[in-house]
Amino acid sequence: MRRLESIVFIVLLLLVSSVALVEAQNRKSGINAATFLKVGVGGRQSGMGSAVTSLTGDATNMFWNPAGTALKDDAMQASFTHNNWIASLSQEALAVTYNVKDIGTVGIGVMSFGINGIQADRDIYPTGDAQLRAQEIDQVTSDTYNYQDLLAQITYSRWIMDKLAVGVTAKYIHETIDDMSASAVAFDLGSVYNIGILDWNIGARICNLGSDMKYYDFSHPIPLTFSIGTSMAPIKFGQNSVLFSLDLVKPQDGQQYYYTGMEFNASNMFFVRGGWKLNYSYFGLTGNGIDEGITYGGNARPGIATSLEKGSLGAGVRLPFDSYNVSVDYAYTVFTSLSDVHRFTVRFAMK
């Protein structure tokens, strides 16, 4: 049985890693639609610098690795996240999971992202020329417009063996800008394997494997992402522990990133977290958040900043009761030249 566990996990791991290495260092930023899918969900997850591929037992993980939603001790979970994103954008996310005996964990998730009342700058032909007016692409005349994204998904996960969890998510993605809209369907696949010592997990995931989104006559892929991660708690004393996590993340439109995270657990009630993204987090120093540049037509182009995001900090509190517990998590992410980001998550778990 142990040999079968290892074979299944290694196959999944190799699948992710082999695809992730394809065109690993090409600069292709700006090719994706539905980029809101890149914005992290969850106070705990964001506070740990998004290094969460190998974490388990949390409904919010359905927005990261579906295998991480598999429940053992809880009968159900529900979480709600609010994110004050940059440029007055707002993100709301709801996740609910239920542990169905002998079947697995079934979950549903909804996420909205966007902003209303954006000042419109329209290119309008003279109103007196009906023929030119009919040829306009932009037929709307309002002074403002809205940008809204919607994600609806169903997740299934299960501990198929004592140490191996697998999961899959089916997604419907809808994006609206002014009077134009586009949709796509996608899938996430993931696995998490527990080594058996020091709470050591290894995880792998493929996210946003699906159809393109088409505006007018132009189609754009959604942000396909590959990740391999590990986490462990080598420091334990009493009911306290320190968890470290590391993710190797390869997005379709960027270079290889390395996400790192840490969580200090005090009595399984109070938590302090921190995270840093190597090759991504930017401090304005040479080599921080700078890609390797490209060579095009025989001419070398220097590296550019891949992000204005710095590090993340977070904290949480868990209140246990007889048959349920309530957790509140907060994450603070620092940006250069942009407003800092605050995320809040409330999670309810029933035993």
Q: At 244, which amino acid appears?
A: F
User: Where are the alpha helices (H) located in 39-97, listed in sequence order?
Assistant: 43-47
Which residue in this structure is represented by tokens 């809040």?
344
Would you give the end-to-end CA distance of the chain in angstroms?
29
d(CA 232, CA 246): 9
Each residue's pLDDT, cut to its tens digit, for the chain (351 residues) gives 555 555 555 555 555 554 544 444 455 667 888 899 999 999 999 999 999 999 999 999 999 999 999 999 889 999 999 999 998 899 999 999 999 988 999 999 999 999 988 888 776 666 656 666 666 666 677 778 889 999 999 999 999 988 999 999 999 999 998 888 999 999 999 999 999 899 999 999 999 999 999 887 788 899 999 999 999 999 999 899 999 999 999 998 878 889 999 999 999 999 999 999 887 766 555 456 666 665 555 566 666 666 778 889 999 999 999 899 999 999 999 887 778 999 999 999 998
Q: Is residue 322 exposed (0-12), middle (13-18) or buried (19+ Cβ within 10 Å)?
A: exposed
What is the per-residue pLDDT for 284?
Answer: 56
State which residues form the domain around 329. 2-350
Give me the CATH number covering residue 92.
2.40.160
CB atoms within 10 A of CB 59: 30
Choose among 343, 349, 244: nearest CA to 44.
343
Domain total in the chain: 1
* 23-44 as b/e: b if 16+ CB within 10 A: eeeebeeeebbbebbbbbbbbb
Choose among 8, 21, 55: nearest CA to 201.
55
Cα-to-chain-centroid distance, residue 191: 16
d(CA 141, CA 121): 10
Dihedral angle, C-alpha 253, 255, 256, 257, nearest 10 °: -80
d(CA 160, CA 211): 29
- Answer yes or no: pTM beyond 0.75: yes
Kindly report the length of the chain: 351
Q: At 210, which amino acid appears?
A: G
What is the per-residue pLDDT for 248?
Answer: 94
d(CA 66, CA 155): 6
What is the per-residue pLDDT for 25?
Answer: 44
